[in-house]
Amino acid sequence: MPASTLEDSLKDIVAQYTGRKHDALLPVLWDIQTAFGHISPEAVRAISYALRVPEVDIYGVIGFYGGFIQAGSGLLMIFAFGRMGNLDIFQINSLKVFDTLIFITVSILVFAASGRVHWGYAAALSAGNLAGGWAGSHWQLTRSEAWINRFILATGLAMAAKLLWDSFST
């Protein structure tokens, strides 16, 4: 899509919420995420201007609300929990799973309350998460903790590189 078309699309989305304040943050972020696949700094500036909400508030919502930041959150949690103390990989994974349960539950409740859940997609995503979690747990039992740590590091670096590449290629 040419830059002017992207800018026009962004303006059209944001214009629907002009004059509203914080109550419009989640809906406008959702619409922009759906339209573009990401929330750009330009989008944050446009939202800030239209809603008269400070950019820091918008970034706070994006950072707090997991529905917009699913890229590698499990790997980040594993890394963070691994640095917290003398936990083995199984304890770390348990903490990650518990955190993810809370995270996803809140996300589902917020999206459902706003009528933004496609239950067919949600069921497919849930089934995929369940199957992936089960397979990952069983696979984890066949490897050493050092091997898993190297795998997590390599995967995290690969994902960071892809996100970096994507941010400069648009």
Q: CA–CA distance from 149 to each of 6, 79, 83, 137, 164 (Å)?
A: 40, 9, 12, 14, 22
pLDDT of residue 37: 78
pLDDT band at 72 (very low <50, low <70, confident <90, very high): low
Q: Taking residues 45-74, report their average pLDDT.
A: 73
Q: Please indicate, yes or no, whether residues 94 and 146 belong to a single structural domain of this protein.
A: yes
What are residue 53's phi and psi, to 5 degrees?
-120, 135
Structural domains in the chain (count): 2
Distance CA 27, CA 150 (A): 39
User: How far apart are the C-alpha atoms of 40 and 46, rounded to whole Å?
Assistant: 10
- pTM strictly above 0.75: no
Looking at residue 67, what is its pLDDT?
A: 47
Q: Can you give the residue range of the structural domain that contains 8?
A: 3-67
Q: Summarize pLDDT for 112-170 with one digit per residue, the tens.
A: 888 877 788 777 767 777 777 777 778 778 888 788 778 878 887 887 787 777 767 75
Asked if residue 116 and residue 74 are part of one domain, the reply reads yes
